[in-house]
């Protein structure tokens, strides 16, 4: 799984003057991971959407819906 690196706006200064990292929401983190997995599956299967969907364990219909949700279609 990809490492979740902090975005610049997710860093804040604590009262002690130390920089702390705020966590992304679970929804944001899951969306980023899902998008990365979709892109990796497509790359691994030469953009064959049916094979990529099968590799991820979802139906082709669900895969297409996820592509639309992530603006990849």
Rounded to two decimals, the pTM is 0.69
HSE (CB half, 13 Å, CA atoms) of 37?
A: 15
Strand 11-13, strand 19-21: pairing: antiparallel
pLDDT tens-digit profile of 15-73?
Answer: 666 555 788 899 999 999 999 999 999 999 999 999 999 999 999 999 999 999 999 98
Structure tokens at 65: 């819906």
């Amino acid at each position: 799984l990809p490492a979740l690196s902090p975005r610049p706006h997710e860093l804040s200064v604590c009262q002690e003057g130390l920089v702390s990292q705020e966590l992304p929401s679970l929804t944001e983190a899951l969306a980023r991971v899902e998008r990365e997995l979709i892109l990796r599956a497509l790359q691994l299967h030469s953009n064959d959407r049916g094979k990529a969907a099968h590799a991820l364990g979802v139906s082709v219909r669900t895969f297409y819906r996820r592509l639309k949700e992530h603006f990849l279609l």
